[in-house]
């Protein structure tokens, strides 16, 4: 059975909440921006780990596993970054599927590379 995006978002959120990753409610409003920034930096860390996989000469499609079975490699690091970003969105009660759909619709109206060289 294929999961919808919303089901995946909920599954990620439930798992991370059960593992103690949801703490925004413990922060007063004036510190919630710091909390969100910290969570975003964890996603950046996963992206940095993906870059390191490439720097070590690993093929971007190559997956390998630690002795304990943990998936490693570029695909796993990208997945970790996406999981962290989806979790942040869910913790903030963002309907990420709706926001992505809205952005895709807007981006379809823009020119090649959105008018940039890269």
- pLDDT tens, residue by residue, 10-67: 899 899 889 888 887 777 778 888 889 999 999 999 999 999 999 999 999 999 999 9
Does an H or E element contain 53, and which?
helix 29-55
Q: Is 113 helix (H, G, I), strand (E, B) or coil?
A: helix
- Under DSSP, is residue 71 helix (H, G, I), strand (E, B) or coil? strand
pTM here is: 0.84
Give Cβ neighbours of residue 86 (< 8 Å, ≥ 6 apart). 8, 9, 12, 13, 96
β-bridge partners, 72: 64
- Which class in CATH covers the domain with range 5-106? mainly alpha
């Amino acid at each position: 059975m294929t999961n919808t995006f919303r089901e995946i978002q909920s599954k990620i959120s439930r798992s991370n909440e059960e593992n103690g990753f949801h703490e925004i409610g413990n922060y007063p409003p004036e510190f919630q921006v710091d909390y969100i920034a910290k969570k975003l930096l964890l996603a950046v860390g996963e992206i940095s780990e993906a870059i390191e996989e490439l720097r070590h000469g690993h093929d971007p499609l190559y997956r390998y596993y630690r002795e304990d079975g943990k998936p490693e490699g570029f695909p796993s690091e990208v997945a970790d970054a996406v999981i962290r970003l989806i979790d942040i969105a869910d913790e903030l009660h963002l309907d990420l599927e709706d926001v992505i759909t809205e952005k895709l619709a807007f981006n379809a109206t823009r020119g090649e590379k959105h008018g940039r060289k890269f």
